[in-house]
Amino acid sequence: MHPIKKIYSLLAVLFLCFGFFSCSDDDPVNIGLVSLQTSNTLGDIIVDGNGKTLYVFTKDVNGQSKCTDGCLTNWPVYYATDLQPGPGIDMKDFSTITRSDGAQQTTYKGWPLYYYTGDNAVGETNGEAVQNIWFVAKPSYSIMLANAQLVGKDGKNYSSNYQESVGETQYFVDSFGRTLYTFIKDYKNVNKFTAPNLSNNGVWPLFYVDIDELPSTLNASDFGEIEVHGNPQLTYKGNPLYYFGEDTNRGENKGVSVPTPGVWPVASPQTTEAPVQPTIMLKNDPVLGNMLTDNQGRSLYFFARDTKGTSTCNGGCLNRWPIFNTAEIIVPAGSLFSQSDFGTTGDGASRQITYKGRPLYYYAPNNDAVVEAPGQAGGENFGTVWYVAKPDYSIMVASAQLVGLDGKTYTSAYVEGTGNTRYFTDADGRTLYIFTNDKKDTNKFTAADFSNDGAWPIFHVAIEHLPTGMNASDFGEIDVHGRKQLTYKGWPVYYFGQDTEPGDNKGVSVPVPGKWPIVNGDTSAAPL
């Protein structure tokens, strides 16, 4: 036997005999025997031949002992010369390392093993969770803790907030020391990374294990299980857990810098609850700009005829334009819209989600209620009455019956009659008008003191987002007694003060039909 081995063996015997038990020729210490012992609070733990508890150190995640010098005063090394595992423990899980001080130490599943001097009798586990870095050795930890420097694939050191820095971070590993990660684009119990055919699973493999044994500082109720394309995946606080395919050695955490720092954080006790997946999302389309989608990325639409906040798409219309409904309205934090912008109309099978009072629909291109695939927007400007739903329209289109303040119905020619007329509204569905006495870029109505602005309020908005078919160059703005007013083809644009609800167009009959026409694409240029 190597002299150093012999010294450690003798020390272990003396430590056990004089520190914990009485030894005699009739009752020798069996240095090599390890077995399982059941703790009332910790379950099955690994003990030596005299029932003395063995421990692991979270800083030893790479398989080498970080407990040196003064640390060994409280945490003496365990080394067995002739290891004899008892029932429930597999010999293949044990090995021996040579420490930095030249001594040898027994490891279990790659974790160096120690005693704790604070244990004074058989079965004591006083070293459990000391400083949250020392834990009893168990035969089958489902999840283990590690304390180590984060070193990305780029070779740089990172702190727990994924800034370049030196310092240890505590995080989760499997029982063999392989690092576990979360993905910032995932939602609660929703894996947004793994492809249906698992083609990218080699890059960030799914992690799953039955939660049986945990360090005492972790709570089993924080862990769960989801199914991902037919495969189980473990979650922590709702966050799906992954390996990184290029972490080839225990303790490696290269994934923290891929593709940029913080996109794949290590899973840790500090990991917060995963956000609930929104039921309504925001997509930025390179052509159409910001638009609303469901949480699968399928486009949502407005119907220009739904001016009163209820659906006018019925019967066969719904084959091409299925209604959008979800049991719960959840929007992403920090979006261009808020929870209060959404509501519902109808009930039961006809329940439909609305945005700022406008019912939302899908588009089924084959007229068979099978909605278009995520990322498509084939329904835009369909029939000049269907438009992708946007949170930030500057001007919107309506198509509805004109009903004057006098209660009579009017056509687009401002004679009594029925039929829908297409016209412009603001983003909230409030009707826009022009005044036939005005001239190009000249407001002839509004008093200098705005005393009559309540009757016909001037309208202004920055023209940024328009439905397909509108031309931003047709809009302008003028100064009216120190205030801005939008113009369309040179006509100053107004509201009507007595249009109290979205979809009202009462102004068409005031003071006589056609004096204040609605604004639409057929509006001719204002006279000079």
**What is the 3 state secondary structure string of 26-65?**
CECCCCCEEEEEEECCCEEEEEECCCCECEEEHHHCCCCC
The two tokens of residue 219 are 């709570």
- 459 contacts 493 by C-beta, under 8 angstroms: yes
How far from each other are the two terminal CA atoms of the chain, in whole angstroms? 109
Report cis status (omega within 30 of 0) of the bond before 332: no
- 462 contacts 394 by C-beta, under 8 angstroms: yes
What is residue 318's three-state secondary structure? helix
183 φ, ψ (degrees, to nearest 5): -125, 125
Q: Residue 46's CB: how many other CB atoms inside 10 A? A: 24
User: How do 342-345 and 352-355 pair as beta strands?
Assistant: antiparallel
| pLDDT number for residue 171 | 98
Q: Residue 139's CB: how many other CB atoms inside 10 A? A: 20
Cα(11)–Cα(383) distance, integer angstroms: 89
- 402 contacts 409 by C-beta, under 8 angstroms: yes
| pLDDT number for residue 129 | 97
The position carrying tokens 């113009």 is: 487
Q: Where are the beta strands (DSSP E) in 321-463?
A: 342-345, 352-355, 358-359, 386-388, 396-403, 409-410, 420-425
- 131 contacts 125 by C-beta, under 8 angstroms: no
Cα(468)–Cα(291) distance, integer angstroms: 13
Cα(104)–Cα(95) distance, integer angstroms: 10
Cα(452)–Cα(465) distance, integer angstroms: 30
255 φ, ψ (degrees, to nearest 5): -65, -15
Angle at 510 between CA 508 and CA 513, to 5 degrees: 55
Alpha helices by DSSP H, listed for 189-231, are none
Contacts made by residues 31-34, CB under 8 angstroms, sequence distance 24+: 31/80, 31/81, 31/82, 32/80, 32/81, 32/82, 32/83, 32/84, 33/80, 33/84, 33/86, 34/80, 34/83, 34/84, 34/85, 34/86, 34/89, 34/94
What is residue 112's three-state secondary structure? strand
pLDDT digits (tens), the chain, 528 positions? 334 433 434 444 444 444 443 333 333 344 578 999 999 999 999 999 999 999 999 999 999 999 999 999 999 999 998 898 999 999 999 999 999 999 999 999 999 999 999 999 998 999 999 999 999 999 999 999 999 999 999 999 999 999 999 999 999 999 999 999 999 999 999 999 999 999 999 999 999 999 999 999 999 999 999 999 999 999 999 999 999 999 999 999 999 999 999 999 999 999 999 999 999 999 999 999 999 999 999 999 999 999 999 999 999 999 999 999 999 999 988 888 889 999 999 999 899 999 999 999 999 999 999 999 999 999 999 999 999 999 999 999 999 999 999 999 999 999 999 999 999 999 999 999 999 999 999 999 999 999 999 999 999 999 999 999 999 999 999 999 999 999 999 999 999 999 999 999 999 999 999 999 999 999 999 999
| pLDDT number for residue 31 | 56
What is residue 293's three-state secondary structure? strand
Tell me how far CA of residue 240 lies from CA of 187, 194, 491, in angstroms. Answer: 8, 11, 57
Cα(436)–Cα(450) distance, integer angstroms: 19
Cα(515)–Cα(523) distance, integer angstroms: 14
Q: Domain limits of the chain? A: 3-139, 141-275, 278-392, 422-528
